[in-house]
Homo-oligomer: A and B are copies of this chain.
Amino acid sequence: MARAVIAIHGGAGAISRGQMSADKEQAYIRALSDIVGAGQEILAAGGSAIEAVTEAVRLLEECPLFNAGIGSVFTRDGTHEMDACVMDGATLNAGAVAGVRHLRNPVLAARLVLERSPHVLMIGDGAEAFAMQHGMTPVSPEIFSTEERRQQLLQAIGAQQVALDHSAPLDEADKLGTVGAVALDLAGNLAAATSTGGMTNKLPGRVGDSPLPGAGCYANNANVAVSCTGTGEVYIRAQAAYDIAALMEYRCLSLHQATERVIMEKIPTLGGDGGAIAVDREGNVALPFTTEGMYRAWAWVGDAPSVGIYRE
């Protein structure tokens, strides 16, 4: 029997101890701990990896602290455009949505695409129409808006900063752009899920790595489940999530060697930064990142959860 485990992230970026109030830090720690605990319970009860990652990401979307679902950042036009992906390592089936604006939980729409359509990726109005045909209810876009994200947009617009250059982030928040979960269940199945509100002040229509299988999300029972967060364009060009799997499969690298190679070496060489969470078929966990911090938590079934924000 495999050593069941779940890991989650709430984005990577310039998170410095100095700028974080004690209250806010506690709020993040509590949210991460609660959410990873919810995923852990699903696994402990014999639930599947895909159930556990879907529910963990749904809870991350529900939490306004993180840039996905409620709490999503604003586009340049003051709207929210969200993307999500789930992948089932047992079947290599994947489902994803991009550019959705009226679905409370994009990860549940991605799951519907996986389970109820022959397709992998659906975008925009077509994705929303599909989700509604399968029982989802449209919501008003205001539910995603939080005062903090609006201030970030006003700040960006006021400073005439546009998210045109990933190497010069307009503020700390524009990189905290993703949430995700990876899990190994008691039956030995791997799964991954990723969801995002994108970048503050982004051009409407821009899609990053989060909803793209192989870029920001990948799972294969043969080796690994991965969810990425960082400069999305670089993660797409590097095929970051699949590249970790390929290095394990074709080069026989360990989980730690493969994630280090991609996240700490290849992504920076292409001018990107960020992190990833990954779980292999033996239940090992890796959580590398090149930024100052990454909101993260992980928990083996039967153990107490671990939570991290900054570099150790």
Interface residues of A (CB under 8 A from B): 81, 92-94, 98-99, 117-127, 129-130, 163-166, 203-208, 212-215, 232-233, 236-239, 242-243, 246-247, 250-251, 270
By a CB distance below 8 angstroms, the chain B residues around A214 are 214-215, 236, 239, 242
* Residues in chain B near residue A212, CB distance under 8 A: 121, 212
Is A166 touching B213 in the complex (CB atoms < 8 A)?
no
- Residues of B contacting A92 with CB < 8 Å? 237-238, 270
List 30 A–B pairs whose Cβ atoms lie within 8 Å, in order of A's numbering.
A81-B126, A92-B238, A92-B270, A117-B164, A119-B206, A120-B232, A120-B236, A121-B206, A121-B236, A122-B203, A122-B205, A122-B206, A122-B207, A123-B123, A123-B124, A124-B124, A124-B125, A124-B205, A125-B205, A126-B206, A127-B205, A130-B205, A213-B215, A213-B236, A213-B239, A214-B214, A214-B215, A214-B239, A243-B246, A246-B246
A121-B246 CB under 8 A given contacts A94-B237, A212-B212: no
A233 to B124, CA, bound (A): 18
Q: B118 and A233: CB pair below 8 A?
A: yes
Beyond known contacts A118-B165, A120-B237, A124-B205: 10 more, CB 8 A cutoff: A117-B164, A117-B203, A118-B233, A119-B233, A121-B212, A123-B124, A213-B236, A239-B242, A242-B242, A250-B251
Q: Which of B120, B203, B270 contacts A119 (CB 8 A)?
A: B203
Residues of B within 8 A of A213 (CB): 215, 236-237, 239
Q: Give the residues in chain B near A126, CB-CB below 8 Å.
A: 81, 99, 203-206
Q: A118 is contacted by which of B122, B129, B164 (Cβ under 8 Å)?
A: B164
Inter-chain CA distance A206–B118, complex, in Å, is 10
Sorted nearest first, the 10 A-B pairs with minimum C-beta distance are: A126-B205, A250-B250, A126-B204, A246-B246, A214-B239, A121-B207, A122-B205, A239-B242, A124-B124, A120-B233
Closest B residue, CB atoms, query A165: B118
Question: Which residue on chain B has the smallest CB distance to residue A252?
Answer: B250
B246 touches A250 (CB 8 A): yes
User: Are the C-beta atoms of A123 and B205 separated by less than 8 Å?
Assistant: yes
- Report the Cα distance A239→B120, complex, angstroms: 12
A163 to B236, CA, bound (A): 28
Closest B residue by C-beta to A233 = B120
Point out which of A117, A119, A233 has the most chain B C-beta atoms below 10 A from its C-beta: A119
A75 to chain B, nearest CB (A): 9
Q: A233 to chain B: closest CB distance in Å?
A: 5
